[in-house]
A and B are shown apart, each in its own frame.
Chain A
Amino acid sequence: MESEVAVAAETDASFLAPLWGALDSIVGAIWAVLHPILTTIDPLCGPVGIFKLFFSNGVLACGDTGWGDDVASGFYVTAILAICTLPLGLVIGFFVALAKQSDEPFLRAAGDIYTTIFRGLPELLTLFIFYFSLPLILEQALRPFGRTEPVSINPFVAGMIAIGVVFSAYCSEVLQSAFKAIPHGQYEGGDALGLHRGQTMRLVIIPQLIRIALPGLGNLWMTLLKDTALVSAIGLPDILRQSSIAAKVTKQAFFFYSLSCILFLVLAMLSSFVFSWIETKARRAEVRH
């Protein structure tokens, strides 16, 4: 029986093999194009990067002699983790907010339980719970398919899920209060125009919702950015972990932790620029001439 399952799994794998191969070559091709571009415009370690220009012969040199490239890679891991988590959290948060403002008591209860749990737990604990329980759950789920070896989960994915879930709980609160700010007449107007539920939501409600929720979402994005530093606790080589390694090896802890604080402030400033730009974009309908 065991061997049959194994054979089935093997044939399954070989059936999927061309697909994986194709996917792999596509990703490879995209990477081959993107990689030279990214390394040229890299603001930290590229040809015109800050570390390359000003710190090329100290501990921050890029390459084997210094820690510049390690800190830079940690910086990008942090930024990419935050950017990947945002859409996940926004989508889950939107649906939880919809559930919480619905007139159906069961849906409301389900949404309330979700926010109570994930707003009440410390982010670090949520992270550990996801990191340690997801492999157990996956192992149980994969057992019927003949896979018995222990499953390990990528810290990036675990961090993305855990932080995304926490973000979505807070996001649903912000969106729920934004929903409350939209008058009921807007839905009735949508009905009167003969729009479907989905069309009313997409064309009438969401554009107003975004405008009302933007300041709150901006604050949440800052929290999300700061929460990503916790993922270093489960071993993701983010900015904090890379600085810790550099600090341990070079014995210049104060310098490297200050540097990572400064890099975080840079991320915060960049995102406040982006947010004020989005806000002016969103508010251009309200400008009075």
Chain B
Amino acid sequence: MSIAETIIPPQAPPPLGLKAFTAKRLTGIIFVGIWLALFVGLAVWMVADFSGEKFAKYGLRMLLGLGLTLKLVGTSLILGAILSLPIAFARMSKSSAVSSIAYAYVYLFRGTPLIMQVFLIYYGLGSFKHAFETVGLWWFFKDAYSCALLAFVLNTAAYQAEILRGAILSVPRGQTEAAKALGIHAVPTFLKVILPQAIMVALRPYGNEIILMVKGSAIVSIVTVFDLMGETKYAYSRTFDFQIYLWAAILYLAVVELLRNVWNALERRLTRHLKR
């Protein structure tokens, strides 16, 4: 039997959760202050330096550029979604030849920068002018917009195929087996049992992919397409007014934030039965 001879001296209590005014709060206030000062400063500068002439001359062009950006992104997303279906199924195929070809496609387009794919298609394929002229496809490959669109479709198809595959594989096998036990054919099983459950999983990555495409589409300005970024560069090269970049930044931020909020609302709606 042991007897304690000394009493353990009282220890300081563990740190409390929230104190009245901590260094943390001070840092937070400083950083929020920096942001506020930056925003207010930029806003004051933009209002004070605002020139109606420049706005009339370049503002409308930039809005048209935004329209082109959205058109490019929308078209490539839809075409990419269609193209991603066969790729995703090829990737899940039992034949190793088919699935490895699909894997190579996906790896190629996900492993290289989008800008390089655009260059490869626009400048690279553009160097085979005579071959395309004999086939009668030169009208497509001489146009920067259609080349950019082709690159975007191929690129987003690779990403969307991976999203789709991940989502389909996330649906438990028992769902397919149950549908089989009920005597449902393969196509209705996929459309009515698997797909609705897969969409819930795929929704978030699809939203991210749309936002990535909106942001990634800025690079088409390098191959002389006048999207929002292209118009911005054009206006800046004419005026050397830094405000123009801020206008573009506000437009891009507005589009991305709008998409993000729409997507959050959509996700809440689709998963409302899981909420407690």
Chain A residues proximal to chain B, CB less than 8 Å: 99, 102-110, 113, 116-117, 119-125, 128-129, 132-133, 136, 188, 191-192, 222, 226-227, 229-230, 233, 240, 244, 247, 251-254, 257-258, 260-261, 264-265, 268-269
Which residue of the partner chain, among B127, B215, B216, B219, contacts A121 with CB atoms under 8 Å? B215
- Interface of A, secondary structure class, is helix
Do the beta carbons of B115 and A258 come within 8 Å of each other?
Answer: no
Q: CA A188 – CA B16 in complex, angstroms?
A: 11
Please give me the residue from chain A that is nearest to B28 by CB atom: A106
Question: A268 — which chain B residues lie within 8 A by C-beta?
Answer: 111-112
CB distance from B261 to the nearest CB of A (A): 12
The contact string, 1 if C-beta is below 8 Å from chain A, for chain B 199-214, is 0000000000000001
Q: CA A172 – CA B77 in complex, angstroms?
A: 28
Given A106-B28, A244-B119, the answer on whether A123 and B124 have CB atoms closer than 8 Å is no
Q: List 28 A-B contacts (CB under 8 A).
A: A102-B24, A103-B18, A104-B22, A104-B25, A106-B31, A107-B31, A116-B253, A116-B257, A120-B253, A122-B214, A122-B216, A122-B218, A125-B245, A125-B249, A128-B233, A188-B14, A191-B15, A226-B114, A230-B115, A240-B113, A240-B115, A244-B119, A254-B124, A254-B127, A254-B128, A257-B116, A258-B120, A261-B117
Do the beta carbons of A99 and B31 come within 8 Å of each other?
Answer: yes
The bracket for how many chain B residues form the interface is 35 or more
Number of A-B pairs, beta carbon distance below 8 Å:
136
CB distance from B101 to the nearest CB of A (A): 16
Do the beta carbons of B17 and A103 come within 8 Å of each other?
Answer: yes
Extra contacts, 5 of them, besides A113-B35, A124-B222, A257-B123 (Cβ < 8 A), are A104-B28, A121-B253, A129-B245, A222-B110, A222-B111
Question: A107 — which chain B residues lie within 8 A by C-beta?
Answer: 24-25, 27-28, 31
Which residue of the partner chain, among B116, B233, B249, B253, contacts A229 with CB atoms under 8 Å? B116
Tell me whether B137 is interfacial, beta carbon within 8 Å: no
Q: CA A125 – CA B216 in complex, angstroms?
A: 10
Tell me whether B105 is interfacial, beta carbon within 8 Å: no
Most-contacted residue by chain A among B34, B112, B233 (CB, 10 A): B112
Which residue of the partner chain, among A125, A229, A253, contacts B124 with CB atoms under 8 Å? A253
